[in-house]
Amino acid sequence: MKKLGILLSGRGSNFLAIHRAIAEGRLDAEIAIVLSNKPDAPGLEAARALGLKALAIPQQGKGTEARAAHDALMLAELWAHNVDLVCLAGYMRIISPAFVAAFPNRIVNIHPSLLPAFPGLDAQHQAFDHGVKVTGCTVHFVDEAVDHGVIILQRAVPVHDEDTAEALAARILEQEHIVYPEAIARVLSGDYAIQDRRYLRRSS
């Protein structure tokens, strides 16, 4: 059984969607560890309530050295739990090149926009404020640049005239919860090839 390591910083609804997909047999994997840089992240509490191992590793600062030291502690936990795939689920901290190199093409992230549009923070608000008519969410491999790696799966979400940014964000989140477990299942199947920036499925 493939082991997932989940990294989160907040409420953890994507983590819970992954957990639900496993419980419902849509995703053949187990969650080996949930890690957070935020000790008070509601997602950590939710993980513990589900009987999962959940640990906070508080961040010590944002400088290169502090980041490397924090990532080394995170990596030690992921290795100790024999994690096959690292899933960033609202993990709002940039990870270091050493972290990326430790899990080559084995770190995935979900981002609430159709990348490469609107990388960075508050992507749903960025899209809303820009006035786009279609936005969505993207699951991608993590590389050394922010919200940049090879795209695995995207789902489009329409923007309605009567929308608020909050209503739009909620509509995107619904799709995130569907698309993230599906993308993780695809990656774990190993049935894909990467050509340049293109993720290509070998079978459907």
> Is the CB of 14 or the CB of 37 nearer to ligand GAR?
14
Helices marked H in 156-203 — which ranges? 165-189
- From CA 171, how far away is CA 166, in angstroms rounded? 9
Nearest distance from C-beta of residue 78 to ligand GAR, angstroms: 19
Active-site choice (19, 70, 81, 111): 111
- Report which of 150, 171, 149, 152 is spatially closest to residue 160, judged by C-alpha positions: 171
Nearest distance from C-beta of residue 142 to ligand GAR, angstroms: 10
- Residue 10 touches ligand GAR, criterion: CB under 6 A: yes
The reply to whether 111 belongs to the active site is yes
- Residue 150 touches ligand GAR, criterion: CB under 6 A: no
Q: Which of 2, 6, 12, 108 binds ligand GAR (CB under 6 A)?
A: 12
| Lookup: tokens for 185 | 């299942």
- Give the CA angle between residues 62, 82, 80 to the nearest 5°: 60
Q: Which amino acid is at 25?
A: G
Instruction: Tell me the helix, strand and coil percentages in the chain, rounded to 5.
Output: 35, 25, 40
Nearest distance from C-beta of residue 144 to ligand GAR, angstroms: 15
- From CA 118, how far away is CA 167, in angstroms rounded? 18
Nearest distance from C-beta of residue 124 to ligand GAR, angstroms: 7
> Is the CB of 71 or the CB of 176 nearer to ligand GAR?
176
Q: Which of 107, 110, 151, 157 binds ligand GAR (CB under 6 A)?
A: 110
Q: Which amino acid is at 84?
A: D
Residues engaged in binding ligand GAR (CB under 6 A):
8, 10-14, 43, 89-90, 110-112, 123, 147, 173, 176
Give the catalytic positions in this structure: 111
